[in-house]
Amino acid sequence: MVDYQGSLRKMAATLPANSDDAVLYSMVLDEQVIGLNTYLGQDISLTYTGGIHCIHCQRKTNKSFSQGYCYPCFKSLPQCDLCIMSPEKCHYQAGTCRDEQWADEFCMQDHYVYLANSSALKVGITRGTQIPTRWIDQGAVQALPIFRVKQRHYAGLVEVLFKQHMADKTNWRAMLKGNPELLDLSAIIAKTLPEVAEGISALQSEYGIDGVQFCDQAETVEIQFPVLEFPTKVTSLNFDKTPQVNGRLMGIKGQYLLLDTGVLNLRKFTGYQIQFSV
């Protein structure tokens, strides 16, 4: 038996150079990085040992907020503010940002608006430095950048235009039941652009062509996930209800482990003290 123990972080994921190969996943426990693909088909055990520590201040907390933060950090940190989930509501210019230095580093940089095919077609945004990690975390089998913008706020405004014509969320249960039918994302954006053209022109007039720029040379990225078998019924596993989770590892997709006993969203339990055994 192989044992590891530590504070859980979101899984690390690497997209192989060969698009026919599956994403390479690793479990992260403190400083330990444990490759998971080699354990496909094997019995594993994850045990929550009872402690939760905030991933920012390391304070021990009885409950995790916003995927790994204690309540004081959740209420005060800029990365936990409402505008992170709804960047069109950015209040930086109003002078009420929780931490302008943090925003200068993380929000005032190139972001991309993209189309993805996870459970079905969706629109999303991500920092340029998070491509393709963001797509992998969402379980997308295809993704296509459609606009590059100069800051996160602009990305939110562009996304709002597209949300009038398509979803902006993934149906996680459908995503875990199998891969969706492949889509022609280039054809979809060509059809959708005229419907948002007026709104895009308005944004470009206000923020400049360089501020909101169409990615006319972008190509669709296809992603393969390491899955031996998808579940026919999605049963969600939860450390708060069942501290010990056992099962055969049948696959990994998004931030989920697919076990023959259910599915476990590791990112949800960031900061939990975990013992991992194979």
pLDDT per position as a tens digit, 72-122:
999 999 999 999 999 999 999 999 999 999 999 999 999 999 999 999 999
What CA–CA distance (Å, rounded) separates 38 from 102? 38
Domain finish residue from 202, 221, 240: 221
Residue 98 lies in a domain: no
DSSP 266: G
Express each pLDDT in 137-160 by its tens digit.
Answer: 999 999 999 999 999 999 999 999
Contact 267, 67 (CB under 8 A): yes
Q: 221: which residues sit within 8 A by CB, 6+ positions away?
A: 19, 132, 135, 142, 143, 144
Secondary element (H or E) of residue 207? helix 185-207
- Answer whether residue 102 is part of any domain: no
H-helix or E-strand spanning residue 138: none
pLDDT value of residue 35: 97
In the predicted model, is pLDDT for residue 45 greater than 80?
yes
Domain membership of residue 267 (yes or no) is: yes
Mean pLDDT, to the nearest integer, of 174-189?
Answer: 97
Total domains, the chain? 2
Q: Residue 2: what pLDDT?
A: 77
DSSP 179: P
Give the global pTM. 0.95
Confidence at residue 233, expressed as pLDDT on a 0 to 100 scale: 94
Structural domain for 239, as ranges: 3-60+225-277
Give me the mean pLDDT over the 46-61 stretch: 96
Chain CA centroid to CA 270, Å: 13
